[in-house]
Amino acid sequence: MNSKEIRAYSEECCKRVQVCPDFETDVTVSPLLFGNNLEHTRSCVYTGISAQMLRNRKFAGKPECYYGCPEGWYRVGERTSIIFNENEDMPVLHMNEGYTRHADDYHMKRRHECNAVTVVNYFEGEESGIGQKGIGIQKDRDYEVRLAAKVWQPTTIRIALTDRDGKVYVQKELEYDNPEFELQSLILCSPVRDENADITISFRRCGTISIGAVSLLPKENFHGMRPDVIELLRRMGVKLLRWPGGNFAGEYNWKDGLLPADMRAPFESCMGLETQPHSMGYDFSEINTDDFVALCREIGAEPFITINPTWNTPEECAQWVEYCNGDGSTEYGRLRTERGYEEPYNVKFWSLGNEFGYGHMEGDNTPSGYGRMGKEFGEKMLAVSPDIKLCSSGPYPNADWVRYAAKPLGQIAPLVSLHSYVGQPVYAEPDQYEEEYYECISKVDTQCRELVHRMRKDLDDDTLRISFDEWNVWYGWYRPKSVNDGIFTASMLHMLIEEAKPSGIDMACHFEAVNEGAIRVEWDSAFLTPSGEMFAVMKNHIGGRLCFVSKDAVATEKDGVLTITLINRSWDGEKKFMLPYYGEVVVSRLYDAESVLPYSDFEVKDIEPDTAGENCEVTLPGHSVMLMQMRKRNS
């Protein structure tokens, strides 16, 4: 933006707004606009929602130089010998028979996924094994350890939590006498708090053991996930959750999730899509379909599942639908029932792959090729569960994709996916801070809204609906939180509410909540970022009758309560709003901040509005948001 554009935008941001509700409207705010993604990327699952505490717990990848230890682990014992077992390369001592594996219907071509580690102790009485550093443990908390191991002689294996110098906090032993892998578990209660503890797995008998997988979880978890993170998703009001991707959907094989969590092989990120840069390029398959649906039910969200049409067959994707929605009379519905989930999941929303047409996804990336593929998959899935709603993929808006993919698929896939990320502010030069802020915030309209309008024009068919299922400020996963992102998120949610009916937006998903924009997860705590706080504010509109909507003000009425959210997008100028006096003010909360720069947070203040007469005037400082709720008089 040049100086003239900045001045014009700043003046527009500060214009006075008169909120004049229309209580006769029949438009309501759909909960499906308040969606998020749960893609297995970077730290969303690993060190995010997953309660799993160990790195490389299934020994994926290649070993270290010389000692041959798996990445992320170290050798216990100066004369310990480590033999790194790769299933395809170790036809000795039956070591090629690993513990982790893929399901039978696995067609992808990946490497170094199904490994184990063999530990040899040549000297009776010496300690041999493997260990891992950097484990955060909390005082008086119980931790469950699971160990899949096999031995060539009866062996006592010790599991210990220690300090970084080897001082033992707590330890227990497991007895193994089985030449085949056996999974055992124990509980360790930590007597201390230590952000940088070690875990060791060791034995003192002369002999050999093989370890196929190790797990360390707090005993209190929800399907292997962190309850504190789940509570924040609920607090945000997430009503639609898209999983397992995103790009990761092209690396996922749903039937692997039918295996026990410790037995599921890791997935290699083979396309260089950086979906797993924080976990060595592998996902460790911690969340399966059952876990995902349980999470959705726990937070009150609709599940939205993306299939893998490149590496799963149409029949396998139809089986996934049947597993979710079939009753006990169907093959896969019966399988779900036998696994302890009697009632059908009734997953309504399914996406026919992710971002086909951009070139970074495996498979046919031409519009006509994708259209043919989507038709084959979609028809098979609908034959199993006719009530599901399918979403087609593509690089929209794009006229060729509309002509050869979206419209031909329209009879079976009424939803069409749209993704948009705006450029991040760098905030490197102080004299450019204001310009960068406005450049980012203005993109809600000049980029995201404009893409919606272009897509609606290209689709030119009201039966084709938009699923705006990825949006954010770019690289939200590599940046600290900021009020800049909070103002952007608030503005996007206002825009989605405003455009939902005229532009045919049926659903939308921010990308993504956990460790990539809305929720920050630390080893011992989790909290909402300014973006997450804005979701928690805007969720108050869900299900309300839309009485007034503009860029900076939204008013909804529900159960005799008028909810109004106000945004001042200005860098530093004040903005005045005139509001109707609907009744008793029950909430009047300002989200203000001194700065929009990285690490900034909203300061939340309860304020007393001036409610004299039939209207009240509210003045918001720069880059702030307000939530006001009034209960109807005599209600």
Mean pLDDT of 263-279: 87
DSSP, residue by residue, 23-41: TT---B--GGGSEEE----
pLDDT at residue 98 in the model: 84
Q: Which residues pair with 408 in a beta bridge?
A: none
Q: Is the pLDDT of residue 86 over 80?
A: no
pLDDT at residue 612 in the model: 66
The span from the CA of 265 to the CA of 147, in Å, is 15
Mean pLDDT of 259-267: 97
pLDDT digits over 148-160, tens only? 999 999 999 999 9
CATH architecture of the region 3-11+20-26+548-632: Sandwich (2.60)
pLDDT at residue 619 in the model: 95
Question: Where are the domains positioned within the chain?
Answer: 3-11+20-26+548-632, 29-51+221-244+287-541, 74-218
Is residue 400 within 8 Å of 390, Cβ to Cβ?
Answer: no
The rounded Cα 120 to chain-centroid distance in angstroms is: 40
3-class DSSP assignment, residue 459? helix
Name the E strands within 204-308. 207-218, 240-243, 267-268, 282-283, 302-306
628 pLDDT tier (thresholds 50, 70, 90): very high
Cis omega (within 30 of 0) for bond into 397: yes
Q: Is the pLDDT of residue 9 over 70?
A: yes
When the pLDDT of each residue in the chain is averaged and rounded to a whole number, the result is 95
DSSP annotation of 560: T
3-class DSSP assignment, residue 465? strand
110 pLDDT tier (thresholds 50, 70, 90): confident
pLDDT digits over 39-63, tens only? 999 999 999 999 999 999 999 999 9
Q: Is the pLDDT of residue 596 over 80?
A: yes
Percentage of the chain lying above the pLDDT 70 cut: 97
**Burial state string for 527-543 with b = 16 or more CB within 10 A and e = fewer than 16:** ebbbbbbbbbbbbbbbe
CATH fourth-level superfamily of 29-51+221-244+287-541? Glycosidases (3.20.20.80)
pLDDT at residue 289 in the model: 98
Q: Is the pLDDT of residue 451 over 50?
A: yes
Mean pLDDT of 105-121: 91
Q: Which has the closest alpha carbon to 320: 258, 259, 274, 366?
A: 258
pLDDT at residue 91 in the model: 45
First-residue to last-residue Cα distance in the chain = 49
Mean pLDDT of 305-330: 97
- The sign one gets for the Cα dihedral 376, 378, 382, 384 is positive
pLDDT at residue 590 in the model: 98
pLDDT digits over 367-379, tens only? 999 999 999 999 9
Mean pLDDT of 170-176: 98
- pTM of the complete model: 0.96
The span from the CA of 23 to the CA of 583, in Å, is 14
Mean pLDDT of 427-447: 97
Q: Is the pLDDT of residue 89 over 50?
A: no
From residue 458, give the alpha-carbon distance in Å to each of 408, 410, 416, 506: 14, 14, 12, 17
Q: Is the pLDDT of residue 434 over 70?
A: yes
The span from the CA of 28 to the CA of 25, in Å, is 8
Name the E strands within 511-582. 519-521, 526-528, 545-549, 553-558, 561-568, 575-580
The span from the CA of 292 to the CA of 241, in Å, is 9
The encoded tokens of residue 58 equal 């299934």
Mean pLDDT of 378-398: 97
pLDDT digits over 461-484, tens only? 999 999 999 999 999 999 999 999
Percentage of the chain lying above the pLDDT 90 cut: 90
Q: Is the pLDDT of residue 97 over 80?
A: no
Q: Which residues pair with 350 in a beta bridge?
A: 305, 390
Q: In degrees rounded to 5, what are phi and psi of residue 276?
A: -130, 45
The span from the CA of 534 to the CA of 54, in Å, is 32
Q: What is the CATH number of domain 74-218?
A: 2.60.120.260
pLDDT at residue 102 in the model: 95
The encoded tokens of residue 229 equal 């993170």
The span from the CA of 521 to the CA of 398, in Å, is 37
pLDDT at residue 90 in the model: 45
Mean pLDDT of 264-280: 87
pLDDT digits over 122-131, tens only? 999 999 999 9
pLDDT at residue 608 in the model: 87
Mean pLDDT of 308-323: 97
Is residue 42 within 8 Å of 50, Cβ to Cβ?
Answer: no
273 pLDDT tier (thresholds 50, 70, 90): confident
Is residue 215 within 8 Å of 184, Cβ to Cβ?
Answer: no
pLDDT digits over 211-244, tens only? 999 999 999 999 999 999 999 999 999 999 999 9
Report the DSSP pairing between strands 465-473 and 505-510: parallel
